[in-house]
Structures are given as structure tokens and as C-alpha cells.
């Protein structure tokens, strides 16, 4: 099969089209023919040298595709069933990938194939942070920093679905986008005084915070009220620890949680914004854009020729 490979660490041009053996599903795994793969900043950090396994490796941690043959039978997934998932941090920039059955889910009717490829990692991570870590419920108010990126744009929508009112931060070009997704207030995080603005909007400081980008950490701590909980899946230095509580967590790859969110895709209350889609041989260009760090929503690689042909925007 064809894959995109990284044989040495470096800039985006180290992403090269190559050949690899078809992966063999182990017990409990499904073989998936990949139609599209999501791209995130984690793909770029691994490519730059963060990957700790042996080279070469195939990047890509999330996919949308179809079940191949009888490999999904045990999980009740027939040949050709449309699925999306998060098998791990690598392997999805490929024509085929294996995925543990509990780390994928059927694609909801209301979710287009290309959009599905961009959902698993950031959606699961956003939902877990808001529910398991922050315990957000109806009537809560939550500050979501860096709300317009892959992680943030899901977090804004999921918080709204949970019944919370959302104050989000973003660069000015994304403000209208965040209002459309349901943020009640949007604050410009390029202005040094943004934490004070959040404190005013939240009657003295946000009680619950999901911090979606490291450059917002200082501001998140200042915008939070005394004793507030700040959840983040991003590694870094967490300031203001004498006054606020930080909790780092990693998004878990759970198909069951994707299944739980299917009704929201179906009724249109949850959508995926794909800023740009690329033919997968153009992965270097997708990585260059991802590394700029100002994507509105997500980036997707189209792996399947038929999908590329029917997807007029690619």
C-alpha cells in the first residue's frame, strides 16, 4: 500500500510518499481502508523529532474510512461500514490502518466523510476536558482559550451542548466564527489586557477554564477567579498555581464517546469546520499551515481518489 513516511526528522519536506506492507489486524482490531486523515499540530511536533519509536514511521492519528472485509465482524461492523477513529498517534497517512474496535465508531449520518476524519482527537479531548475534568453542566460559565483551533472549536460547541455559556478567546479574524459556533462573548487574545476583559465579563474571573494553547496559559491564570480549575491537554509551565488549580490531561481514544455525540452531529448542533483539505501527497503543505498555529477548525488530507473526485473543494 501507499503511505506518507517520515524517514528522518525535520521540516515538512521530510514527509515523503512511499510503500509499506498492509497492516495486519490483531485480535480486537479492525482493518480500515482510509479515505481521509485529520492533521493536527501533534503531527508536526512528532515529525520535528518528538516521535520516540523507530524510523521510518507513518504519521497521522485520526482517520475516516471503511471497514475492510470481515475484520469488523466481531464488533458488528460489516464490510464497507463507514467508521472514524483514533488508533494512536501514528499510522493514518496511509491507504490502510488498523484500529482497536473500541477506538472507532460508525460515522453518524449527519457527518460528512471529510469532516469525520478531522473529529476524533480534538473532539474526544474537548469533550473529556469539559465533562470529566471540569464537570461542566447546564448553567455553568466556561472560559475556552484559543477557541477557534481544532480543539477549541469543538470545545465551544460541546460546552454549549452541555448547557454552559461560553466566553472564548481568539485572534480577531476568528471572532465571527466563534459567535456562530455559540460563544456568547469572544475576547481578542492578541491584546495584552484580555484577561482583565474576561474578568469583567465574568463578574470577577472565570470559574472553569479550558486552556487550549500554551501561549494563553498566563492569560488563562489571570482571567480565572481564585480557586478556579483550569484544565488543559497541552504540556507547559502552568502559572499562578498559588491562586488557581491546573489539571493536565490527555484525550483518551474512546469510540463509545464518539457514539454518544452522534445525535448532535445528526441534529446539526455539532459540526466540524475544515479550513482546508489537501490531496494527501501534499501533506508537507498541510503541515506548513498547521505549524502557523492559526487554523480555523481543522485541516484534512484526502487519501482516496474517489473521495477527492466527489469533494469539489479539495
Ligand X SMILES: NC(=O)c1ccc[n+]([C@@H]2O[C@H](COP(=O)([O-])OP(=O)(O)OC[C@H]3O[C@@H](n4cnc5c(N)ncnc54)[C@H](OP(=O)(O)O)[C@@H]3O)[C@@H](O)[C@H]2O)c1
Query: Which residues of this chain interact with ligand X, rule CB under 6 A?
Result: 40-42, 121-122, 125, 146, 148-152, 170-171, 174, 189, 212-213, 215-216, 233-234, 250-251, 290, 293-295
Distance of alpha carbon 93 from its chain centroid, rounded? Answer: 16
**How many whole angstroms separate alpha carbon 19 and alpha carbon 115?**
26
Residues 286 and 288: their CA atoms lie apart, in Å, by 5
Strand partners, 279: 302
The three-class DSSP label of residue 166 is strand
Q: Give me the least distance between CB of 186 and ligand X, in Å please.
A: 10
Q: Rounded to the nearest whole angstrom, what is the least distance from the CB of residue 197 to ligand X in the complex?
A: 14
Closer Cβ to ligand X, 202 or 216, answer by number: 216
Decide: 101 and 262 in contact? Cβ < 8 Å: no
Query: Whose Cβ is closer to ligand X: residue 105's or residue 151's?
Result: 151
Q: Is the CB of 29 or the CB of 122 nearer to ligand X?
A: 122
- C-alpha distances (whole Å) from 57 to each of 8, 64, 202 are 9, 20, 46
Could you tell me if 286 and 59 are in contact, meaning their C-beta atoms sit under 8 angstroms apart?
no
At its nearest, how many Å lie between ligand X and the CB of residue 33? 25
Grid coordinates of 225: 477567579
Q: Which is nearer to ligand X, 181 or 213 (CB)?
A: 213
Min dist. Cβ of residue 277 to ligand X (A): 15
105 or 186: whose CB is closer to ligand X? 186
Q: Determine phi and psi for 247, rounding to 5 degrees.
A: -135, 115
121 to 11, 84, 126, 213: CA distances (angstroms): 23, 10, 9, 15
Rounded CA separation 279/300 (Å): 9
Based on CB atoms, which residue is closest to ligand X, 213 or 300? 213
Q: Which is nearer to ligand X, 72 or 195 (CB)?
A: 195
Nearer to ligand X, 6 or 31 (CB): 6
**Residue 238 CB, nearest approach to ligand X (Å):** 14
Q: What is the dihedral of CA 228, 121, 118, 292, to 10 degrees?
A: 60
Residue tagged 520516540 (cell numbers) = 52
The closest residue (CB) to ligand X is: 149
Nearest to 275, CA basis, from 188, 153, 169:
153
- Smallest gap, in angstroms, from Cβ of residue 265 to ligand X? 19
Number of helices (H) and strands (E) in the chain: give both, helices first: 10, 15
CB of 94: closest distance to ligand X in angstroms?
A: 21
Min CB(216)–ligand X separation in Å:
5
Amino acid at each position: 500500500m501507499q503511505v506518507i513516511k517520515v524517514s528522518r526528522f525535520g521540516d515538512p519536506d521530510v514527509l515523503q510518499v512511499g510503500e509499506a506492507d498492509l497492516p495486519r489486524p490483531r485480535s480486537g482490531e479492525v482493518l480500515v481502508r482510509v479515505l481521509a486523515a485529520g492533521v493536527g499540530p501533534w503531527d508536526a511536533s512528532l515529525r520535528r523529532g518528538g516521535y520516540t519509536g523507530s524510523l521510518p514511521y507513518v504519521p497521522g492519528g485520526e482517520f475516516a474510512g471503511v471497514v475492510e472485509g470481515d475484520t469488523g465482524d466481531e464488533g458488528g461492523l460489516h464490510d464497507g461500514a463507514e467508521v472514524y477513529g483514533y488508533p494512536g498517534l501514528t499510522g493514518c497517512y496511509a491507504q490502510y490502518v488498523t484500529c482497536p474496535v473500541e477506538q472507532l465508531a460508525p460515522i453518524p449520518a449527519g457527518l460528512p466523510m471529510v469532516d469525520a476524519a478531522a473529529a476524533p482527537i480534538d473532539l474526544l479531548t474537548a469533550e473529556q476536558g469539559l465533562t470529566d475534568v471540569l464537570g461542566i453542566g447546564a448553567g455553568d460559565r466556561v472560559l475556552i482559550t484559543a477557541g477557534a483551533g481544532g480543539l477549541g472549536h469543538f470545545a465551544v460547541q460541546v460546552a454549549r451542548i452541555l448547557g454552559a455559556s461560553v466566553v472564548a478567546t481568539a485572534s480577531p479574524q476568528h471572532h465571527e466564527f466563534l459567535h456562530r459556533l455559540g460563544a456568547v462573548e469572544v475576547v481578542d487574545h492578541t491584546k495584552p489586557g484580555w484577561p482583565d476583559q474576561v474578568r469583567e465579563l465574568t463578574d470577577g474571573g472565570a470559574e472553569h477554564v479550558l486552556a487550549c494553547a500554551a501561549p494563553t496559559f498566563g492569560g488563562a491564570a489571570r482571567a480565572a477567579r481564585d480557586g478556579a480549575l483550569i484544565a488543559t491537554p497541552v504540556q507547559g509551565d502552568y502559572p499562578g498555581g498559588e491562586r488557581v488549580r491546573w489539571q493536565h490531561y490527555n484525550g483518551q481514544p474512546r469510540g463509545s464517546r464518539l457514539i454518544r455525540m452522534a445525535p448532535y452531529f445528526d441534529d446539526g448542533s455539532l459540526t466540524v469546520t475544515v479550513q482546508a483539505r489537501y490531496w494527501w501527497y501534499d501533506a508537507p503543505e498541510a503541515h506548513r499551515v498547521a505549524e502557523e498555529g492559526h487554523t480555523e477548525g481543522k485541516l484534512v488530507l484526502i487519501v482516496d481518489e474517489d473521495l477527492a473526485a466527489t469533494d469539489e473543494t479539495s
